[in-house]
Structure 1
């Protein structure tokens, strides 16, 4: 057998998986099986998660009102502390535990850890304490990935003075994917992709998404998902999919793919 010392090591593909909050309690054996299969195929994976149902319950328990605008949770100063405690103190550790119990080495992070997410207000007048990510510092992610550990990221960032900010999880996932030059972004939700007139669309071009937003066929929480998807495609992420826990659903592509 002839060997070549000059051969370059194979660079693993990178996948960012965003788990919607409604999915976290319902993760089943099939999800973990698919996840480990992706790892066995040589992929490095990062998970970003939301926590909508848990946050809604925590806010209701404290009698703190909550509304959404364009799929973003309007977050008061009182609410953001509850959101932070819920995501970082409850939802994230529970997800990390599930992964560890299913044979997946995982470590929980928030935007505070390793100065991961540098943020500012998205629009304080409209959304309150909701963050816009200005920079992703990937050092801590690279350290974990090279050691075979899956980072599990909750969607909490902060201002330079450490004031917490709630960030839409789809936005966090897209920014992380861009920062680590991911090969694929998977947005996992309880809806198996984009539904138009009750039917899941297998492949969707970006101009159609813009038309469906304008016609309100795409609305609510799906708007941040498709917006994040289009931004990632525009910036060079090769593949973006909105899928269910079996990782089946809608693939979103640029129109140029079919040109």
Structure 2
């Protein structure tokens, strides 16, 4: 992946917060309070988000079929129109409004804005209008961050011909985090991290996670979350956390022995 580099450099801590579709619809006062607290402490924050439930409702209303393959939404041309109009026209503005109401200056963005997320087809024959990130316009992000504004990025990319492409939310979050050299990535879910035998874990390694999956302690929807977190660590992000709306939860770290797995 290539990036548009800027000359600006900052020593302040940076954090990317990824909000999933189901989480977006359940954000409460505690989330915005903790978000504001992080910002006031000097952390530079970037939000990325999807909007699965909202997209599903619009697809159903228009009787457009959709299904997932390998964790990716297969996106026909008709479905892409719904994804784009829903995320850019409804979900993103609503989230920006909530942040603004909570006293957080934010701006909604997507791949079309200043070629923020240039993408290419992941595999058109298999996935349709699904994109793979080719570049992130870090110059644009740097200028927004420097102005004290929180970028709120919808997971829609654009190719060089101007075609919108649906991009997996976790991929957008990790690509943005890597491009801007974020110290940490927070994956916000509806649970406060990894829970083993009714006790939430403050820290986990890839080796422990593999053991917990094998023993059946991690199951269901938590499996792709932890696997995605490990992939982000392996890509070079120093710290990945799975958190609830308190923005606290389980920190997944990559130790030397994990690198040898």
Query: Shorter-chain-normalised TM-score: which range?
Result: 0.7 to 0.9
User: Over aligned residue pairs, what C-alpha RMSD do you find?
Assistant: 2.5
| Number of aligned residues | 250
- Preserved contact between residue 207 and residue 258 of structure 2 (Cα < 8 Å): no
TM-score normalised by length of structure 1: 0.87
Cα displacement (A) at 1:125? 2.7
CA 1:162/1:227 → structure 2, altered by over 3 Å: closer, same or farther? farther
Match of 2:40 in 1: 40
Using the TM superposition, name which of 129-138 and 39-48 deviates more: 129-138
- Preserved contact between residue 55 and residue 82 of structure 1 (Cα < 8 Å): yes
- Where does 1:151-190 land on structure 2 (aligned, <5 Å)? 151-190=151-190
Cα displacement (A) at 1:158? 1.7
Cα displacement (A) at 1:256? 2.1
4+ runs of 1 displaced by more than 3 Å?
194-202, 207-222, 225-228
Match of 2:125 in 1: 125
CA 1:214/1:164 → structure 2, altered by over 3 Å: closer, same or farther? farther
Gapped runs of 5+ residues in structure 1?
A: 1-8
Cα displacement (A) at 1:226? 3.3
CA 1:126/1:194 → structure 2, altered by over 3 Å: closer, same or farther? farther
- Preserved contact between residue 72 and residue 221 of structure 1 (Cα < 8 Å): no
Q: For each residue in 1:114-134, what CA deviation from the matched residue of structure 2 results, as whole angstroms up to 9, or x when unmatched?
A: 111111122223322111112
Cα displacement (A) at 1:204? 2.0
Cα displacement (A) at 1:231? 3.3
- Preserved contact between residue 31 and residue 245 of structure 1 (Cα < 8 Å): yes
Cα displacement (A) at 1:201? 4.0
- Where does 1:92-171 land on structure 2 (aligned, <5 Å)? 92-171=92-171
The secondary structure found in structure 2 opposite 1:153 is strand
Q: For each residue in 1:158-179, what CA deviation from the matched residue of structure 2 results, as whole angstroms up to 9, or x when unmatched?
A: 2211111111111100110000
